[in-house]
Structure 1
Amino acid sequence: MRNWRGEFNMKEKVEMALTKIRPMLQTDGGDVELIDVDENGVVKVRLQGACAGCPMSQMTIKNGIEKLLKEKIPEVTSVESV
Protein backbone atom coordinates (compact mmCIF):
# COMPACT_ATOMS: atom_id res chain seq x y z
CA MET A 1 0.00 0.00 0.00
CA ARG A 2 1.29 3.46 -0.81
CA ASN A 3 2.02 5.88 1.99
CA TRP A 4 0.71 9.43 2.14
CA ARG A 5 3.43 10.57 -0.28
CA GLY A 6 2.38 7.98 -2.85
CA GLU A 7 5.41 5.75 -2.25
CA PHE A 8 5.19 1.97 -2.25
CA ASN A 9 6.05 0.00 0.88
CA MET A 10 8.96 -2.41 0.88
CA LYS A 11 6.88 -5.55 0.25
CA GLU A 12 5.21 -3.94 -2.77
CA LYS A 13 8.58 -2.85 -4.17
CA VAL A 14 9.88 -6.41 -3.85
CA GLU A 15 6.77 -7.88 -5.47
CA MET A 16 7.10 -5.48 -8.41
CA ALA A 17 10.78 -6.35 -8.84
CA LEU A 18 9.99 -10.08 -8.75
CA THR A 19 7.75 -9.62 -11.79
CA LYS A 20 10.96 -8.97 -13.74
CA ILE A 21 12.53 -12.32 -12.80
CA ARG A 22 9.40 -14.49 -12.91
CA PRO A 23 9.41 -15.02 -16.71
CA MET A 24 12.91 -16.53 -16.53
CA LEU A 25 11.84 -18.95 -13.80
CA GLN A 26 8.59 -19.79 -15.56
CA THR A 27 10.38 -20.79 -18.78
CA ASP A 28 12.01 -23.56 -16.74
CA GLY A 29 8.70 -24.61 -15.15
CA GLY A 30 9.26 -22.76 -11.89
CA ASP A 31 8.14 -19.66 -10.06
CA VAL A 32 8.83 -17.65 -6.92
CA GLU A 33 6.41 -16.66 -4.16
CA LEU A 34 7.11 -13.72 -1.86
CA ILE A 35 6.56 -14.83 1.74
CA ASP A 36 7.77 -11.88 3.80
CA VAL A 37 10.01 -8.83 4.00
CA ASP A 38 11.20 -7.98 7.49
CA GLU A 39 12.26 -4.66 9.00
CA ASN A 40 15.94 -5.55 8.44
CA GLY A 41 15.49 -5.89 4.68
CA VAL A 42 15.55 -9.68 4.67
CA VAL A 43 13.30 -11.03 1.91
CA LYS A 44 11.85 -14.52 2.34
CA VAL A 45 10.74 -16.37 -0.77
CA ARG A 46 9.55 -19.84 -1.69
CA LEU A 47 10.60 -21.35 -4.98
CA GLN A 48 7.84 -23.29 -6.69
CA GLY A 49 7.42 -25.85 -9.43
CA ALA A 50 10.60 -27.16 -11.03
CA CYS A 51 12.66 -24.59 -9.12
CA ALA A 52 11.60 -26.00 -5.74
CA GLY A 53 13.55 -29.23 -6.11
CA CYS A 54 16.30 -27.97 -8.37
CA PRO A 55 19.88 -28.51 -7.17
CA MET A 56 20.66 -24.99 -8.45
CA SER A 57 17.96 -23.33 -6.33
CA GLN A 58 20.38 -21.61 -3.93
CA MET A 59 22.32 -20.26 -6.89
CA THR A 60 19.06 -18.98 -8.39
CA ILE A 61 18.24 -17.22 -5.14
CA LYS A 62 21.67 -15.64 -4.54
CA ASN A 63 22.85 -14.92 -8.10
CA GLY A 64 19.46 -14.20 -9.60
CA ILE A 65 16.77 -13.07 -7.20
CA GLU A 66 18.96 -11.49 -4.50
CA LYS A 67 21.18 -9.71 -7.03
CA LEU A 68 18.20 -8.23 -8.88
CA LEU A 69 16.44 -7.14 -5.71
CA LYS A 70 19.55 -5.47 -4.29
CA GLU A 71 20.05 -3.59 -7.57
CA LYS A 72 16.45 -2.38 -7.68
CA ILE A 73 15.84 -1.90 -3.94
CA PRO A 74 18.88 -0.81 -1.90
CA GLU A 75 17.06 -1.54 1.38
CA VAL A 76 17.14 -5.29 0.63
CA THR A 77 19.95 -6.89 2.65
CA SER A 78 19.49 -10.56 1.73
CA VAL A 79 17.11 -13.13 0.28
CA GLU A 80 16.33 -16.41 2.02
CA SER A 81 14.44 -19.48 0.87
CA VAL A 82 11.76 -20.83 3.20
Structure 2
Amino acid sequence: MFGGISPIQLVIVLVIVILIFGTKKLRNMGKDIGGAVKGFKDGMKDPDEDQSEKSEEEKQLLQKKEEADADFTDSKQKDKSSGDS
Protein backbone atom coordinates (compact mmCIF):
# COMPACT_ATOMS: atom_id res chain seq x y z
CA MET A 1 0.00 0.00 0.00
CA PHE A 2 2.61 2.62 1.08
CA GLY A 3 5.71 1.29 -0.64
CA GLY A 4 5.72 -2.00 1.22
CA ILE A 5 4.61 -0.61 4.61
CA SER A 6 1.46 -2.24 5.94
CA PRO A 7 -1.18 -0.36 7.93
CA ILE A 8 -0.32 -2.42 11.01
CA GLN A 9 3.30 -1.24 10.83
CA LEU A 10 2.09 2.38 10.59
CA VAL A 11 -0.08 1.89 13.70
CA ILE A 12 2.87 0.42 15.61
CA VAL A 13 5.08 3.38 14.62
CA LEU A 14 2.32 5.81 15.64
CA VAL A 15 1.96 4.14 19.05
CA ILE A 16 5.73 4.32 19.61
CA VAL A 17 5.79 8.02 18.65
CA ILE A 18 2.92 8.74 21.06
CA LEU A 19 4.71 6.88 23.85
CA ILE A 20 7.95 8.81 23.24
CA PHE A 21 6.57 12.33 22.79
CA GLY A 22 3.21 12.20 24.54
CA THR A 23 -0.09 13.50 23.23
CA LYS A 24 0.29 17.01 24.63
CA LYS A 25 3.60 17.62 22.88
CA LEU A 26 2.25 16.17 19.62
CA ARG A 27 -0.81 18.44 19.89
CA ASN A 28 1.42 21.49 20.42
CA MET A 29 3.60 20.50 17.47
CA GLY A 30 0.46 20.16 15.34
CA LYS A 31 -0.67 23.65 16.34
CA ASP A 32 2.75 25.08 15.54
CA ILE A 33 2.86 23.41 12.13
CA GLY A 34 -0.72 24.53 11.38
CA GLY A 35 0.14 28.11 12.32
CA ALA A 36 3.21 28.02 10.10
CA VAL A 37 1.19 26.69 7.16
CA LYS A 38 -1.46 29.37 7.70
CA GLY A 39 1.18 32.08 7.83
CA PHE A 40 2.75 30.74 4.65
CA LYS A 41 -0.60 30.73 2.86
CA ASP A 42 -1.31 34.29 4.03
CA GLY A 43 2.10 35.33 2.75
CA MET A 44 1.39 33.80 -0.64
CA LYS A 45 -1.83 35.80 -1.15
CA ASP A 46 -1.90 38.53 -3.76
CA PRO A 47 -0.62 41.68 -2.04
CA ASP A 48 -2.82 43.94 -4.20
CA GLU A 49 -6.09 42.69 -2.69
CA ASP A 50 -4.97 43.35 0.90
CA GLN A 51 -3.27 46.64 0.05
CA SER A 52 -6.42 48.75 0.46
CA GLU A 53 -7.08 47.36 3.95
CA LYS A 54 -3.50 47.80 5.06
CA SER A 55 -3.20 51.29 3.65
CA GLU A 56 -6.36 52.39 5.49
CA GLU A 57 -5.04 50.94 8.77
CA GLU A 58 -1.64 52.52 8.17
CA LYS A 59 -3.28 55.91 7.53
CA GLN A 60 -5.17 55.68 10.83
CA LEU A 61 -2.06 54.66 12.77
CA LEU A 62 -0.01 57.42 11.17
CA GLN A 63 -2.68 59.98 12.01
CA LYS A 64 -2.76 58.83 15.66
CA LYS A 65 1.02 58.99 15.85
CA GLU A 66 1.09 62.51 14.41
CA GLU A 67 -1.57 63.63 16.90
CA ALA A 68 0.37 62.13 19.79
CA ASP A 69 3.59 63.77 18.58
CA ALA A 70 1.82 67.13 18.28
CA ASP A 71 0.39 66.80 21.81
CA PHE A 72 3.82 65.90 23.17
CA THR A 73 5.46 68.85 21.39
CA ASP A 74 2.75 71.24 22.65
CA SER A 75 3.11 70.07 26.23
CA LYS A 76 6.88 70.35 26.01
CA GLN A 77 6.62 73.92 24.71
CA LYS A 78 4.18 74.85 27.49
CA ASP A 79 6.56 73.44 30.11
CA LYS A 80 9.43 75.38 28.57
CA SER A 81 7.47 78.65 28.47
CA SER A 82 6.22 78.27 32.04
CA GLY A 83 9.79 77.62 33.19
CA ASP A 84 11.05 80.85 31.56
CA SER A 85 8.60 83.06 33.49
Which has the larger Rg?
A: 2
Give the helix-richer structure, 1 or 2. Answer: 2
Q: Which structure would you say has the larger RCO, counting Cα contacts within 8 Å and 6 or more residues apart? A: 1
Q: TM-score, normalised by structure 2?
A: 0.22
The alignment's TM-score, normalised by the length of structure 1, stands at: 0.23
Q: Which has the higher strand share?
A: 1
